[in-house]
Amino acid sequence: AQSVAQPEDQVNVAEGNPLTVKCTYSVSGNPYLFWYVQYPNRGLQFLLKYITGDNLVKGSYGFEAEFNKSQTSFHLKKPSALVSDSALYFCAVRDITGGYNKLIFGAGTRLAVHP
Amino acid sequence: DSGVTQTPKHLITATGQRVTLRCSPRSGDLSVYWYQQSLDQGLQFLIQYYNGEERAKGNILERFSAQQFPDLHSELNLSSLELGDSALYFCASGDSTGRLPGTSGSLGEQFFGPGTRLTVL
């Protein structure tokens, strides 16, 4: 079965510093990987996806993610964190068991960016 | 704005009651997905519909049911409510089948509505 793991419940970063939110995956076949962000009292917003091609994927709000096949990882990164990036981040993998798309989400990582 | 709408935004009800949550997908999306987000369980996939038919089931209780109508909007019905059903319920819409990469609608990304916060007292 497809799965993703987010090993950190919370990540704390100072504003202006680079940030990394970790995600590892376990899939059979080629992985389709996604990152979503959830701001307080809001729905999930799509950030970026990896389907194929370049291992470095660029997304919304200055975020990028690096796909690493040998380490089965898809870490979310940003060169310089903003206080407004504080939110809950979810990694997800596509599962097409049964022939229909669904997403399997990680448990989420809370990012806190301090001024 | 994702283009997915959900009503109501908030719902407060008592144990034992029944409620209906409504979702309208993005224009053109045939799939609707329902998720439950609670503090201790994270984001749980409940059920998926594609063009009116149920396609995948996750951790959905027997007290819960859903349907997708011909105009593609979907409703999630929660009955015999318990305190533990208090949660945020999200609807998402997205592409269609898990077709092969490179074909239309095969990418799998989903677009989420703002959610319905259900409080069971």
DSSP strand pairing (A24-26 vs A3-5) = antiparallel
A51/B107 Cβ within 8 A: yes
Taking CB atoms and an 8 Å cutoff, what residues of chain A touch B45?
102-105
Q: Angle at CA B88, nearest 5°, toward B87 and B93?
A: 140
Q: Would you call B120 helix, strand, or coil by DSSP? A: strand
Each residue's pLDDT, cut to its tens digit, for chain B (121 residues) gives 788 999 999 999 999 999 999 999 998 888 899 999 987 667 888 999 988 999 888 889 999 999 999 999 999 999 999 999 999 999 999 865 444 443 334 466 788 999 999 999 9
User: For residues A71 and B4, what is the distance between their CA atoms, to the nearest angstrom?
Assistant: 35
For chains A and B, what is the number of CB pairs under 8 angstroms? 75
- Which pLDDT tens digit goes with each residue over A88-104? 999 999 887 766 667 88
B98 closest CB neighbour out of A43, A44, A99:
A99
Taking CB atoms and an 8 Å cutoff, what residues of chain A touch B107?
32, 49, 51, 94
pLDDT for position B41: 67
Please provide the distance, in angstroms rounded to a whole number, between the alpha carbons at the two ends of chain A: 41
Segments of chain A scoring below 50 in pLDDT: none
Q: Kindly identify which residue of chain A lies nearest to residue B41, measuring between CA atoms.
A: A107
- Which pLDDT tens digit goes with each residue over B95-109? 654 444 433 344 667
A98/B55 Cβ within 8 A: yes
Closest CA–CA distance from residue B55 to any residue of chain A (Å): 7
- For B39, the token pair is 């503090």
Residue type, B3: G
What's the CA dihedral at A49, A53, A55, A56 to 10 degrees?
-60
In sequence order, which residues have a C-beta less than 8 Å from that of residue B20 and are 6 or more positions away?
B75, B76, B77, B78
Closest CA–CA distance from residue B72 to any residue of chain A (Å): 17
